Structure 1
Amino acid sequence: MLAGIALSGISVAAHAQDAQPAGEQQATAPSDIIVTATRRNERLQDVPVTVTAVTNEQLQDLNITQFRDVQVLSPGLVIEDRGAQGNVTALRGISTTVNSGSPQAVIIYFNEAPIQDTLAFQSIYDIGQIEVLRGPQGTLRGVAAPAGSITITTRRPDLNNFGATIDGTFTDQTNVNGQFGIGVPLINDVLAVRVAGLYDRNSNGDIRSLNSDAKSRSETKSIRASALFQPIEPLTIFGSYQYLRNETDNLTIVEGNGRGYNGPVLPEGSGRRGIAVQEETSPRRVTGHLASLSAKLDIGDEAALSYIGGYSKYSALTRADEGDGDSGNAIPNFSQHALFDVSVTDWSHELRLDSQGPGRFWDYTVGAFFRRTTSNTNVAQQVFGVPSFTPTFDPIGPVDTFGFIRAQSQGKLKDKSVFASSTFHLPTKTDITLGARRLWSKNNAPTSLTFVTSVFGTEFPGTPSIIPDTVDEKAWVYDAKIVQHIGEDSIVYASYGRGFRGPGNNKYVALPASFPRVSSEKQDSYELGFKGSFLDRRLRVDFAVFQQDIKGFITTVADVPYCSFGNDAPCPPVGSPPQNRVTSSSIAFNGDARVRGFDLDISGKITDRWTAQGTVSYAKANFKNAQVPCRPDLDGDGQADTDDEFGANATQPIYFCSSNGAIADVPKWNFTLQSEYTVPLAQAEAFVRALFVYKGKRAEVSGLNSYEAQPILNLYLGAREIVPGLEVTMFAKNIFNTRKLTYTSSDLVTFGFPSGYHQVTYTPQREVGITARMRFGSD
C-alpha cells in the first residue's frame, strides 16, 4: 500500500502546449465540429486522426459533471478506480497504473497544459470541448503518449457579447451539483473576462460501515477566472487561473466471511449495497492550482508565432493522526494510520512558429519545448503497534509503542524537445505529412526509506535507506501520414507513428536483486482510416483500423509472491516467520505486446427531430510470449499457491509464466448508442434522449480474476425554452440498476492478521435526479 501511495505522489505531470478555442459553438451538423487535434482549427471530418469530440452541449445534455463519465461518450476510453492499483486511464486496450512508476500512457491536458491525473479526476464545469485522441501522440504535443491524449478546453470569454449560465442538479443519492459561468466584455473587441464556479457534494459511492456510523462523502469547491485580450488585431492573449479543493471521506467496500470477531459474513454480491467494515473513514484533501497563458501573433498573412505557458500545483494530504487503513477491520478498535503529504509543481513553456492561410502548397510547424517539474513526497505507514492482539480479546486500549515506515522524496524533472512538422498539399487533393520531435529528459528522484519506532510519543528513527532513481533519456518520436480528399466531405488516410515512454521501476518493492530493471518502451503504430459525410451531410461515418507493436510494454501484475528483502536464494526455510519469508505485491515489468483493432463512429439526423449516434471500439491487446511475474501452482493442486504454499515449495525467489494474454484489465469490446427525439410543446420543445453504454468482459493481467460485461442504460426527459433560456431535465442513470463487479482484491491483511475480507468495487447504482439550467445572452 505504501508503494502505491508513494508512487502516486511522485508521479508528475508533463508539458504545455498551445490551445485554440474549439467546440463552443453548437454545430449545425456533425461534420461542422471544429477540433484542435493537429494543433490547428480544423473540421472534425478533415482531421486524419481518430478523435472523439465531446462538446459543451453533449456534456450538459447527458448531465456529465465528473471527468470519469466522459468515457461513456468515447468507446475504448476507460477511466476507473481499480482499488489498491489506483485510477486507471486506458485507450485502445493500453493502460498504465500509478504502481508501474512509469509515465502515463494517456496524457491529459487542461487548456493545452498537461495536468496531474488526480486533478482531472475531479468535477468538471464550464467546459468548451473535450477531445479524446487515440493512438501515439508526441510529434505535435510535448509529452510522448503511447495510447493517446485527452484535451480539456474551458469556455472562453466573448469579446462582444454578455453571456451566462447557471445550473443545478439534485439526485436521490444526496448529490448536489451547482455551476455558474458569467462572461462580460469590458472593452468591445479588445478585452473580456469570464468567471465560473462549482460546488459539488456527493456520497462518494454511498458506502457505510457496519461497525460504526462512518459514511463516505466527497465535497468539491472550485473557482475559475479567464481573460481574453486583443490589444491590436494581430495579437491575441488568453489567460486562465483555476483553484480547486476537494475533501473526501473514503471507505472500502468488502466481501467475505470475516473472522467471526470483526464483522458479519458478507457473501458474494453483497458489496452492491456499499458495505464496509472499517471503523473510520480515510480522509483525503486535494488542492489544485491551474494556470495557463497563450499568446498568438499573426506575422502578416503567412505565419503566426505562438507562446504557450502552463503552471500547475497539486497537493494531497492525509494527516498521520486520522483515517483508518485497516480496511478489513482485522484488528477491531484499532485504526492503522498513514501519513500522505504530497505536492507537485510544474512549469512548462513552448514557442512555436506555424504557417497559416488558405491555398498553400506547404504548411509547416517548428518549435521548442521546455518543462520543469518538482515533487515533494512525505508518506508514512504504521507497520506494527498491537503487540498483544489475538483473535479473541477484550477491546484494546491506547497503543503507546508502534513503528512505521517513512518514505521521503524530492524529485526534479527537466524535459526539453525540439520539433518540426510539414504538410504538402498536392494538386491531386493529396496531403503528405512528415513530423518529428527530439526528446531529452532528466529525472532525479531519490527516495529515503526509514523505519521509525515511537515510544510514548518519542520517535527513534533508524538508519535511512536511500533508493536511487535517476533517469537520463534521449529519444525520437516521429510520424508520417498520407491523406486523399474525396470531394468536400470525405477522406481516406494512412499513417505511421513511432512512440516512446520512459522507464518504470519497482523501487518500493523488496524484489530479488536479479529481477530485471524496468526499461523504457517503444511503439510502432499503423492506421488506415476513412471519414465521410453523406445524404447532404446528414450522415457521418468515421472508420479506422489499427495495429500497434510495442517493444517492452510497461505494465504491472498484482498479487505476485516473492522472497522478501531482495533475497536471490530460495525463500528461508519453513518455520521462519511468514512475513520474513514471502511477500505479495504489485510488480512492474516489461513485455513485448501487440494491439489490433478498429474504431467506428456513425452519427446522423434520421429526421429533422430525431438524431442518433453509434460508436464501436474493438482492441485486442495481448502480450507476445512475454515472461510475466506470476503466482505459480507449485503444490500441483490445480490452484494458484497461497503465500504459505509458495514459501513451503519455492525453489527460486520469484516465478515467471509465459503469457500471450491481455496486457491490461480493460475490455476488448466497447460500444455506445445515443439518440434524441424532440416534440414541439407550445412555445417550448420537449425531448426524450437515451444513452446505452456497453463494456465487454475482461480479465486481469494475472489471469486470477475475470469480470462480466457491463450494459448500462440512461434515460433523460425534459423541455427547453419553457421560458426563454430555461431547460429542465429529469434523468435516471443506470435505470435497470445493473451492478457488475469491476474489481476484487486478495485478502486484506493488517500486521500479518488476515481479515477474512477482500476489497471489491461495482458499477455505480441507479441514480435519479433533476437538472435545471438557465442561460442568458450569448450562452
Structure 2
Amino acid sequence: MQKFSMKRAALLLCGAAVIAVPAGAWAQAATPTVASTNDGPPTISEIVVTATRIQSRQQDVAMSLNVETGDKLEKLNVFDIKDISQLAPGLDLTNTDGRSNSTTLRGVTFNPDSGTAPAVQVYLNEIPTDAQVIYAPIYDIQDIEVLRGPQGLLRGLSAPAGSITIATRRPNFDHVEGYAETTATNREGYNVQAGVSLPFSDTLAIRVAGLVDGNRINDVVDVNRNNQRSYGWTESARITIGWKPLPGLTTFLTYQHLDVDTRQFQQVVGSGNTPAYQLLPFLGGYLLPDTSARSGPPLTVSDYGAVSEGLDEVNNRTDIVNLAADYDLGPATLSFVGAHQSSLIVVERDLDNGNAVPGYISNGPQHTTFNYNTGELRLTSNNTEGLGWGVGAFYTKQSGLTILDGGNSNTFFFPTSVAGTKAAFGAPPYLPINTNITVPTNASTASFNANLRYKSGPFKAEAGVRYSIEKNDQTTQVGVSSPGNTFAGVPAFALPTSEIIPPNLQKSTYRPLTGGADISYDFARTLTGYVAYGHSARQGSTGVGVPSGISPDLIRTKNETTDSIEAGLKGSFANRRLSFTVDGFYQKLENYLSRFQNIFYDVPANQSGTGQQELGSFDFNYNGNATIKGVEGSLDGHVTRDWDISVQASYTHGRYNNATLPCNDFAGTGIPNANGAQKVSGPGNVSYCVINSRLADVPDFSLTANTEIRFPMATVTPFVRALLSYRPGFYSQLVNFNYEDRENINLYLGLRTNDGKWEINAFAKNLLNQQRITNISLGNAQQPTSAGVSYDSGYRTINATNRRSFGITAHVKW
C-alpha cells in the first residue's frame, strides 16, 4: 500500500510540474550550452567547477577531474549514479551482492564492509555521505565532479584515491523553470522524474523534484525459487528552499527522502553438483551421495541464473536534511554547510548463495540504523590576485547499530562413519549454532585546515594543511546458542553474550596531518601547466563480527598513508573548438587498507570460545604496501557546428609490493587457489600469500567516448548519439581468472525542437549484447565441515554485464 501511494504521489508531482507552468514560461528561450557564431563551428564553453571549493574554470584547477553536467546525464539516460563510470575512465562503481556499493578509482578500491573510511569519498551538496545510501537512481542533478588523486585538504575527510561530488539543482530566484522526463524499457524498466523551480520573490524560491524508478537490476532469475527475478524499486522526493534574508547572504535548505527496495539474486556459473549426502542404512550407515538433491542445473553467463533457496533483499529508507549558507562580507566570504542523515537498512540474505547444501538456507538477516551529522565552517578571502587565504573547521559524527541475527556458524559433520545407526537423514547432519551479533557504530572526526594561495598574472601557487582528530570505538557483542544435536552427541547450550574484540583493540584515536600544494602557470589563454603534490591518510579499523578467537592481525589493521605527485597540461586548440587535458602521476601507499573476501578460516576448539572448532569463510581487512603510476587524458569539443565529441582515457598501473596478505591456498602452493578441500596452509587461522598483483580487479587501461551528430531542420533537429566504454581483458591473480574485454555501446536516435523545449529518443543499451563476467569468486562456493571435507556447490559466484535492452525517453523542459 505504501509503494502505491508513494509512486502515485511522485507521478502526480511530475504531472503537476508540467501542468502548473504558466504559459509565459514556455516561451522562454533555452539556455545555450555552447558559444555560437554565424560563420563557423561554435567554440567550447568555459566549464566552471567547485573542485577547490571556489568556483573556477576547469582549466585553472591543478588536478585531474571529470565533470558531467545534469544536462549531459539526461541526454545519455544516466539514471543511476553507478553508471557515471561509463563517462569517467578508471572509475568503477559496482554492487556485487545487492547490498554493498564499492568504488574504485585509479586502481584503488574500497569495500564498505571494511569499517574504514572509503578510498573515494562521496559528497552530496558538499556534505560527506555514505555511498551505501547515495548510490541509487539519480534525478534533478546540477553536476557530478570526479576528483582524482589523494584528497586531504579541501574537504573534511581524507581519501587516498579521490572524491565524487554530487550537486543537486537549486531553485531559480528569477523565473519559473523545470523539466519532466519519462522512460520505459523492454525489460520492465521505468523511470519517471521531474523538477520545477518556483520563485516567490527575488529573495525566496523553492525547487521541488521527484522520482519513481523500477528495473531488473542484474536481470538474474533464481531457478530454485520458481524462476523469481531480481528487481529494484526506488521512490524519492526532494525540496530545496532558497532564501536571501540579507544583502550578501544566501541560504539553501534541502530535504530529501529516499526509499529503495531491491531483490537481487547472486548470479552463478558452473556445472552444479550433488553435494547433499544421505545416510543409507542398508550400506552399513555410511554417508553416500544423494543424487536426487542437486545444487542446481548447469549454468553459463548467458543464463543469468541464481540457485540460492533463500531471499536476497535490501530495504533502504534514508532522510537527509542539508543546509548551505554563504555570507559575502566584502574582503572574505563566510560559508557553512551542515547536514543530518538518518538511515534504516534491512537486509535478508541467503549466505549459501551457491546452494552447496540443498534444503538448507543460511539466513543472514541484518538490521542497521545509521545517523550521520556533519558541520563545516569556512572563511575565505575574495581576492583573485595577490595573496589569498582560507581557514576552516569541520566536524562529523557517525552513530548507529547493526544487528545480525542468524545461524551463520552451523557446524556440518560430513563425512563420517556412523555404523550401527539405522536412521536416514534427508539433509546432512549439522549442529545449529544461532549467532546473534550486535555492532554499535560510534565514530567522529574533527579537523582544522588553513591554506594560502598566491596569484600574479599567469602564475598561481597554493598550499595548505589539515589537522584531524579521528576517534573510533569499535565493539562487537556476540550471543551463541544451540538446540544441540543428539546424532553428534552435542547437548543444547546457550552462552552468555560476550565481547569478542579484545579491550586493547576497541578504542582508537588517530591524528593525521594531511594536505597538499600545487603550482600552475598559464603559458597562454589556451594552455595551462601544473604540478601538484597530495598527502592523505586513513585510520585503521577493528574488524567487527570476526570469528571468535581469531588472531589479532586479522582483527585490527594499521593506519594508512599515501603520497602522490602529479603533473599535467590543460588547454584548447582549433580556435577553441576543442579542449584537452593530459596528466601523469605517481603514488605510494604505505599500509594500504583493503578487504579480502571469502577467506577460509579454522579456529581450533580451544581458541574459539564456544568449545567447538569453528570453520568457515569470512571477509578480513589487511594492510599491504603498494605503488600506483599512470597517465590520463581527454579530448572534448566540436568537430563541426553539428558534431560534438568527448574522448577520455586512463592508464593506471596499481600493484602490491611483496605484500603478505590473507588468501585461500588450499593446495599449499603459496599462491591464491581453490584446488581441493578447504584448508589452512601454514600456521595461523588463515593462509597467507605474498602478493604483487593489482589492487583491484580492474584493467590498467580504460576508455570512454561519446558523440552527438545533429541534422538541423526548420523547427526540429534529428540527432544520433552514441556512448562507448572500453575495458581490455586482463588476468586477475586474486581470483585466478582471465577477464574478457568489454566494449559497451549505447546508441540513441531522437528528435528535439530547435529551442530545446522537448525531446524524444529511442535507445539501445549494450548494443552488441556482450555478456561478460565483471566479477568472479576464487573457486566454487563451498560449505566446510568439521571433518575437513567441504560440500562443493559446483558454482562460482559472478556478476555480469546486463543484456541488451531497448527503451524510449520523452523529455520536456521550460
- The TM-score normalised by the length of structure 1 is 0.88
Within the alignment, does 1:366 sit opposite 2:391 as a pair? yes
One-letter amino acid matched to 2:338: G
In the alignment, the residues of structure 2 paired with residue 566 and residue 31 of structure 1 have an alpha-carbon distance, to the nearest angstrom, of: 68
- CA offsets, 1:413-466, max 9 Å, x none? 121111011111134x2111111100101111211122133699x995534234
One-letter amino acid matched to 1:275: G
Please identify, of 662-671 and 444-453, the stretch whose mean Cα deviation from structure 2 is larger.
444-453
Query: Counterpart of 1:464 in 2: which secondary structure?
Result: strand
Q: Which residue of 1 aligns with 2:84?
A: 70
In the alignment, the residues of structure 2 paired with residue 473 and residue 643 of structure 1 have an alpha-carbon distance, to the nearest angstrom, of: 43
Matching residue within 130, 147, 156 for 2:161? 147
- CA offsets, 1:704-738, max 9 Å, x none? 23312211111110011189722001110110101
Please identify, of 716-725 and 61-70, the stretch whose mean Cα deviation from structure 2 is larger.
716-725
In the alignment, the residues of structure 2 paired with residue 627 and residue 229 of structure 1 have an alpha-carbon distance, to the nearest angstrom, of: 56
| 315 and 751 in structure 1: CA distance in 2 versus 1, 3 angstrom threshold | farther
Within the alignment, does 1:719 sit opposite 2:751 as a pair? yes
| 637 and 365 in structure 1: CA distance in 2 versus 1, 3 angstrom threshold | closer
**Contact 2:363/2:408 (CA < 8 Å) preserved in 1?**
no
In the alignment, the residues of structure 1 paired with residue 412 and residue 383 of structure 2 have an alpha-carbon distance, to the nearest angstrom, of: 75
CA-CA distance at 1:566 after TM superposition:
9.5
Q: Which residue of 2 aligns with 1:347?
A: 373
- CA offsets, 1:498-536, max 9 Å, x none? 111111344433475363741011111000010011122
Matching residue within 641, 655, 662 for 1:608? 641
Matching residue within 751, 759, 768 for 2:806? 768
**Contact 1:33/1:43 (CA < 8 Å) preserved in 2?**
yes
In the alignment, the residues of structure 1 paired with residue 646 and residue 187 of structure 2 have an alpha-carbon distance, to the nearest angstrom, of: 29
| 454 and 66 in structure 1: CA distance in 2 versus 1, 3 angstrom threshold | farther
Matching residue within 679, 689, 698 for 1:657? 689
Percent identity of equivalent pairs: 29
After superposition, where does 1:47-196 map in structure 2 within 5 Å? 47-83=61-97, 86-187=100-201, 189-196=202-209
CA-CA distance at 1:755 after TM superposition:
2.5
**Contact 2:317/2:343 (CA < 8 Å) preserved in 1?**
yes
For structure 1, list consecutive stretches of 5 or more residues without a partner in the other structure: 1-23, 572-576
**Contact 2:460/2:520 (CA < 8 Å) preserved in 1?**
yes
After superposition, where does 1:640-655 map in structure 2 within 5 Å? 640=673, 642=675, 644=677, 646=679, 650=682, 653-655=685-687
- CA offsets, 1:439-498, max 9 Å, x none? 101111211122133699x99553423425322000100211111012223210001111
| 207 and 225 in structure 1: CA distance in 2 versus 1, 3 angstrom threshold | same
**Contact 2:387/2:453 (CA < 8 Å) preserved in 1?**
yes
Q: Which residue of 2 aligns with 1:620?
A: 653
Q: Which residue of 1 aligns with 2:700?
A: 668
Q: Which residue of 2 aligns with 1:530?
A: 569
**Contact 1:584/1:643 (CA < 8 Å) preserved in 2?**
no
Q: Which residue of 1 aligns with 2:772?
A: 740
Q: Which residue of 2 aligns with 1:630?
A: 663
**Contact 2:411/2:614 (CA < 8 Å) preserved in 1?**
no
**Contact 1:666/1:699 (CA < 8 Å) preserved in 2?**
no
**Contact 2:616/2:783 (CA < 8 Å) preserved in 1?**
no
**Contact 1:410/1:445 (CA < 8 Å) preserved in 2?**
yes
Matching residue within 248, 255, 279 for 1:241? 255
One-letter amino acid matched to 2:345: A
**Contact 2:216/2:230 (CA < 8 Å) preserved in 1?**
yes
| 400 and 660 in structure 1: CA distance in 2 versus 1, 3 angstrom threshold | closer
One-letter amino acid matched to 1:595: I
CA-CA distance at 1:744 after TM superposition:
1.8
Query: Counterpart of 1:680 in 2: which secondary structure?
Result: coil
Within the alignment, does 1:314 sit opposite 2:327 as a pair? no
**Contact 1:83/1:743 (CA < 8 Å) preserved in 2?**
no
CA-CA distance at 1:632 after TM superposition:
3.7
Q: Which residue of 2 aligns with 1:14?
A: none
Query: Counterpart of 2:365 in 1: which secondary structure?
Result: strand
Within the alignment, does 1:475 sit opposite 2:497 as a pair? no
One-letter amino acid matched to 1:244: L
**Contact 1:383/1:751 (CA < 8 Å) preserved in 2?**
no
Please identify, of 656-665 and 611-620, the stretch whose mean Cα deviation from structure 2 is larger.
656-665
One-letter amino acid matched to 2:374: S
Within the alignment, does 1:303 sit opposite 2:332 as a pair? yes
Within the alignment, does 1:276 sit opposite 2:306 as a pair? yes
CA-CA distance at 1:565 after TM superposition:
5.1
Q: Which residue of 1 aligns with 2:792?
A: 754
Question: In angstroms, what is the RMSD of aligned CA positions?
Answer: 3.1
For the pair shown, which has the larger CA radius of gyration, 1 or 2? 2
One-letter amino acid matched to 1:743: N
**Contact 2:390/2:451 (CA < 8 Å) preserved in 1?**
yes
Within the alignment, does 1:250 sit opposite 2:264 as a pair? yes
Please identify, of 447-456 and 408-417, the stretch whose mean Cα deviation from structure 2 is larger.
447-456
Q: Which residue of 2 aligns with 1:495?
A: 532
Q: Which residue of 1 aligns with 2:234?
A: 220
Matching residue within 294, 310, 320 for 1:290? 320
Query: Counterpart of 1:747 in 2: which secondary structure?
Result: coil
In the alignment, the residues of structure 2 paired with residue 532 and residue 266 of structure 1 have an alpha-carbon distance, to the nearest angstrom, of: 57
CA-CA distance at 1:263 after TM superposition:
4.6
Within the alignment, does 1:564 sit opposite 2:603 as a pair? yes
**Contact 2:697/2:775 (CA < 8 Å) preserved in 1?**
no
**Contact 1:664/1:701 (CA < 8 Å) preserved in 2?**
no
**Contact 1:598/1:619 (CA < 8 Å) preserved in 2?**
yes
CA-CA distance at 1:396 after TM superposition:
7.2
Aligned length: 734
In the alignment, the residues of structure 2 paired with residue 51 and residue 638 of structure 1 have an alpha-carbon distance, to the nearest angstrom, of: 37
Query: Counterpart of 2:83 in 1: which secondary structure?
Result: helix
**Contact 1:504/1:554 (CA < 8 Å) preserved in 2?**
no
In the alignment, the residues of structure 2 paired with residue 539 and residue 465 of structure 1 have an alpha-carbon distance, to the nearest angstrom, of: 61
Matching residue within 520, 534, 538 for 2:559? 520
One-letter amino acid matched to 1:683: T
Please identify, of 387-396 and 696-705, the stretch whose mean Cα deviation from structure 2 is larger.
387-396
Query: Counterpart of 2:697 in 1: which secondary structure?
Result: coil
In the alignment, the residues of structure 1 paired with residue 726 and residue 390 of structure 2 have an alpha-carbon distance, to the nearest angstrom, of: 40
One-letter amino acid matched to 1:666: V
CA-CA distance at 1:766 after TM superposition:
0.7
**Contact 1:105/1:146 (CA < 8 Å) preserved in 2?**
yes
- CA offsets, 1:228-280, max 9 Å, x none? 11122211001111001011112121222223444576546x13222112234
- CA offsets, 1:545-578, max 9 Å, x none? 000011111112334444325989xx9xxxxx9x
Query: Counterpart of 1:104 in 2: which secondary structure?
Result: coil
| 580 and 702 in structure 1: CA distance in 2 versus 1, 3 angstrom threshold | farther
- The TM-score normalised by the length of structure 2 is 0.84
After superposition, where does 1:405-424 map in structure 2 within 5 Å? 405-424=435-454
CA-CA distance at 1:585 after TM superposition:
3.3
| 587 and 401 in structure 1: CA distance in 2 versus 1, 3 angstrom threshold | closer
Q: Which residue of 2 aligns with 1:509?
A: 546
Q: Which residue of 2 aligns with 1:327?
A: 353
In the alignment, the residues of structure 1 paired with residue 89 and residue 222 of structure 2 have an alpha-carbon distance, to the nearest angstrom, of: 35
Query: Counterpart of 2:143 in 1: which secondary structure?
Result: strand
**Contact 1:707/1:741 (CA < 8 Å) preserved in 2?**
yes
Within the alignment, does 1:580 sit opposite 2:613 as a pair? yes
In the alignment, the residues of structure 1 paired with residue 98 and residue 767 of structure 2 have an alpha-carbon distance, to the nearest angstrom, of: 29
Q: Which residue of 2 aligns with 1:592?
A: 625
| 442 and 353 in structure 1: CA distance in 2 versus 1, 3 angstrom threshold | same
In the alignment, the residues of structure 1 paired with residue 412 and residue 106 of structure 2 have an alpha-carbon distance, to the nearest angstrom, of: 49
Please identify, of 91-100 and 222-231, the stretch whose mean Cα deviation from structure 2 is larger.
91-100
Q: Which residue of 2 aligns with 1:8?
A: none
**Contact 1:93/1:664 (CA < 8 Å) preserved in 2?**
yes
CA-CA distance at 1:103 after TM superposition:
1.1
Query: Counterpart of 1:71 in 2: which secondary structure?
Result: helix
CA-CA distance at 1:176 after TM superposition:
0.5
**Contact 2:320/2:342 (CA < 8 Å) preserved in 1?**
yes
**Contact 1:401/1:453 (CA < 8 Å) preserved in 2?**
yes
**Contact 2:338/2:375 (CA < 8 Å) preserved in 1?**
yes
CA-CA distance at 1:387 after TM superposition:
8.6
| 565 and 695 in structure 1: CA distance in 2 versus 1, 3 angstrom threshold | farther
| 89 and 246 in structure 1: CA distance in 2 versus 1, 3 angstrom threshold | same
Within the alignment, does 1:443 sit opposite 2:472 as a pair? yes
| 500 and 389 in structure 1: CA distance in 2 versus 1, 3 angstrom threshold | closer
